[in-house]
Amino acid sequence: MKDNEKQFSQFISGIDTQKASPDPQCIAGLRERTCSEFVKSSAGSLKEKQKTAHKIWSIIVNINIKKLTAAAAVIVVGLLIFQFLGKPVPLATISFADIIETMKNVPWLYMEAQGFDGGVEGTGRQWVGFQDKIHAGQWADGKITLWNIKEHKRYTYTPQDRTITIDYTYEDDFPLNLSSPVALLESMNKQLRRQGAQINTSMGKYQGQSAQIQEITLTLEMNKVRHTQTLILYIDPDSNLLRAARAQGTDAEGHTIMAGEITFSYPAGGPADIYELGAPRDAKVISNIPADNIQELMDHYGQSRTEATREYIAIITYTDSYRHDMITMVDIDYKSGLRHRLERHLVFGSGQSMENLWPAYKEQLGQTFESLRQWSLNHYQSTGSISIYLHDGEYYCSAGRDDDGTWHKESRQYDPDPRDYRMPGITLESIAWPLMFAGGTIIEDDYARENNLICIERLQQGMVREWAVSLPARFLFYLDPHKDYISRRKVTEWRADAPWQQNKNWLNEADPTKIPDSTVTVEDMTQLVQAPNGHWYPREILVQQTVLPKDNKDTPPNKPNFKTINIYINTAPVFPDNIFDINHLPAP
């Protein structure tokens, strides 16, 4: 490959698409978090994956204008829209090497987007400071944001309540590499080369001046409706800098459903704080910055998580809520570096009599690593539900078998993110070392004090959306510093009447039929084991979930449901041939 092609093949690599798969109790909150991250930081798709994923252009087409302007900035940071295309790209038609070379010494990037979505017009402005590692934005809804990556702080001004909120943020939380313009461009990698579009390059005019014009067209299907997206880039042939872009989306009938124009400039400086962006200096300030010691704690936690889950095969069994001796699910979890495969096998088929079949199934399953592993292999030769999630270190893919034996397989998706957010939050690492995001604080309660544990508390506000209601949440993680910082206990509360909810009238406009039950879930590691590699792992986890009364606070809680999770682990595994090979996944 030519040098310029190599550089451009690195053009689109690392926007963190925030594909999240938190543990099940955190999914709703994480969905809200990643939606707002996309709006505020102008790159990155929804995390929820349930798995994840709203395609970038689907977001652009279907959201309101304040998100349109943020989505338009995705074009600036590297044509993220190509992430979900499917045709080879004729790279020889694109010469970005000179652009990248010219941008090496650019200290700031400024972009202004104007457009409409669904007939609503708006304007958004953004600044990216490469040396200062700042990303700032003024959004069409009046909101102002500023990320200061060096200070690990994110400032958000909301005009409705004239409030500036300061949140702690890890560098990994920010979806762009701001170390330099080149790093920003190269942070998107092989997406264009491997998943491309139709690209035509020509010389023409932009505002009366000569420009290299690159028109990129793609057609894709969303929700069984065909859409065409067109992106036109205008490049200054003298300076080799991107000057403007136009984006347009049309539906199957040719109607324009989205349009935007973005202009770029490269100033010597940019905003140093949120007040320079227009936030009033008398605005109320709420600081959620944690104590300094929590960052050190999270560093230890992350390091232990990485080291303990580098390579293993784990078998995870789940019992029935009512028959605690009856296994209903068996997960086989394979992990080797960045390669990860999870299989979920349902023991019983739809409509089967569990009571009648359990004695025979119990004997087949056994109670050892070897017997359960053999059962999972035999299960492929019979019928029954199987779900497979596979990340081969570069691509993600999933496949599944229905009760009747019919297999289906998704198209693979390029995803070099080493954090592997696409995997569902039911793997060993998610169970023993659940993901914890910025915003937590260290607290001391009786359980932590009596068991010599460190408790991290994270609170989340409830939100009403058109499609769902997310209750206020409280997450407690009890870490054991003497055993690899493993999370010995996890408590998840979802409460409609949570005392930490700031807006006490938040449910006034909610559809009562969409308000979920308030629940408290406690996950206790009742047995641990130290493996030959020296790390500690859960052997048995007791899960207790209680549904709280909706209307009468004096009514006692419902009887809790219990289930048991048992984990069998091999930390020196010999992996089966092709176990991480997407091409060897079962297919229809």
Q: In the predicted model, is pLDDT for residue 123 greater than 60?
A: yes
- The answer to whether the CB of 342 falls within 8 A of the CB of 426 is yes
pLDDT tens, residue by residue, 37-76: 333 333 333 333 333 333 322 222 232 222 222 223 333 3
Q: How many CA atoms lie within 13 A of 352 on its CB side?
A: 17
Q: In the predicted model, is pLDDT for residue 505 greater than 80?
A: yes
Q: In the predicted model, is pLDDT for residue 260 greater than 90?
A: no
Question: Residue 137: which of 154, 119, 116, 150 has the closest Cα?
Answer: 154
Q: How far apart are CA 181 and CA 77, in angstroms?
A: 9
Q: How far is CA 234 from the centre of its chain?
A: 32
CB atoms within 10 A of CB 560: 15
Q: How far apart are CA 565 and CA 548, in angstroms?
A: 23
C-alpha angle 97-102-106 in degrees, rounded to nearest 5:
135
> What's the whole-number mean pLDDT along residues 20-30?
33
> What's the whole-number mean pLDDT along residues 461-465?
88
Kindly indicate the confidence band of residue 424, based on its pLDDT and cuts at 50, 70 and 90.
confident
Kindly indicate the confidence band of residue 304, based on its pLDDT and cuts at 50, 70 and 90.
very high
Dihedral sign (CA 572, 300, 539, 381): negative
- The answer to whether the CB of 337 falls within 8 A of the CB of 311 is yes
- The pLDDT value recorded for residue 40 is 33
pTM to 2 decimal places: 0.59
* Residue 104, Ramachandran bin (φ over 0: left; ψ between -120 and 50: alpha; else beta): alpha
- The pLDDT value recorded for residue 519 is 94
